[in-house]
Structures are given as C-alpha cells and as structure tokens.
Chains A and B, each alone.
Chain A
C-alpha cells in the first residue's frame, strides 16, 4: 500500500541553524501539507500546497518557514533560523484532492522529530 515517507526520522540542530525536512508524498496525490506537534500539545496545521504554490497557511507559518516541491516526488519544509520553540514532531501529509479538498482523506507520514538545542 502506498505511503507517505519522511526523512530523517530525528533531526538535532543548534539554535539559529537552518534545517530541511523532507517528505515523499503518495505518487498520484496533488495536495500536500505540513503539520507539527509540540510535545504535550495538539497537532497544528502549518501549510498546505497545491499546484506549486501555497494554498493556505497558519499564523505559525511565518517568514522563517518555507516549502518547496523541488522535483516530481519530494516536498520539503525549510526552517531558516531555528528557535528552541521549533522543537516538535513535524508531520507531512498528502491527499488525492477529489472534487473538494476538505473532504479528502489526508495520508500522514511517520513524522520527523526536530530537536533544537
């Protein structure tokens, strides 16, 4: 069964460093997402991406964050200058995007645990 994959599974970085989290969505999916979960808190939406542009973003997704689909298979989240409060589990998701994206099932990857020291 097709699945969303994410690399690395765990990333440790120093405060102020740039990190890139990578995701390979399911191959025929058209809509891509990033969510994060700070330890002990809710899973929070960061951004959605469709047709090579951001479709929607949350208040969390400020100028230090960016997303890119550099080729036909990868979807990346870049954090330019990491802060301690960026430590979290980051989940990538994708959906097929049928007639209405809000009804589509989103398929999640296993997550990347980012630790900022």
Chain B
C-alpha cells in the first residue's frame, strides 16, 4: 500500500522569505502526486500535480514542486511567500495503475508572519 509523509507539521516563515514544504511517499507501483491547499473554512484546492514528463511542476499562486523518483520526494517550494499563503498544505498520491483514491499526508500548517 502507498503512504505519504509530510515531515513538518508546522512551518513558520516571514513574509517574502522562501519556503519549502517536504513530502515523501512510498509505493511499490508508480504514483501520481498532488499538492492541495486548505484555507480556513474552505475545502481543499489543488495547487499542482505531477503526472509525467518534466519533473518540475508549476502551480497556482507561484508555487512549484519537484518530483524526485530516486528520493521518492515531491517537495513544494515558493521563492517568496505572502501573508495570504498562510494555510494548511496537503501532499497526496493516487496509484498509477488503478483506483482514484487520494492518499494524503498529515498536512503542514504554513504560517507567514509580517
């Protein structure tokens, strides 16, 4: 079975600083990788996804993520964060072979301070 680990439960940063949210996965088969964001009192919203091709994926709001197969990682990055990026971020996978269920990591609370 697949699993997802987000190594940091909370990440505080100052506004305009760079940030990296870490995600590692384990699976015996190929996976598709997703990052979702949840703002307070809202549903989860897709930031970006990796299906195939270029390992660097660009998403909404200036976020990007890099798929590293050898390290089984899919870390999320942003070069300069804003107060409005404060939210919970979830890494998730689906199996490439069958099934569309998302398996989520624990989530990382990003707090951007002025």
Chain A contacts to B: CB under 8 angstroms: 3-4, 31, 33, 35, 41-45, 48, 55-56, 58, 91, 93, 95, 101-111
Contacts and interface: CB of A to CB of B under 8 A. Distances in A.
A44 B90 CA distance: 12
B103 interface: yes
Contacts, number: 62
B41 A106 contact: no
24 contacts: A33-B100, A42-B106, A42-B107, A43-B90, A43-B92, A43-B104, A45-B101, A48-B100, A48-B101, A55-B100, A56-B100, A91-B44, A93-B44, A102-B96, A102-B100, A103-B94, A104-B100, A106-B46, A106-B102, A108-B43, A108-B45, A110-B41, A110-B42, A110-B43
B32 A102 contact: yes
A108 B68 CA distance: 27
Interface string B70-114: 000000000000000000001010111011111111110000000
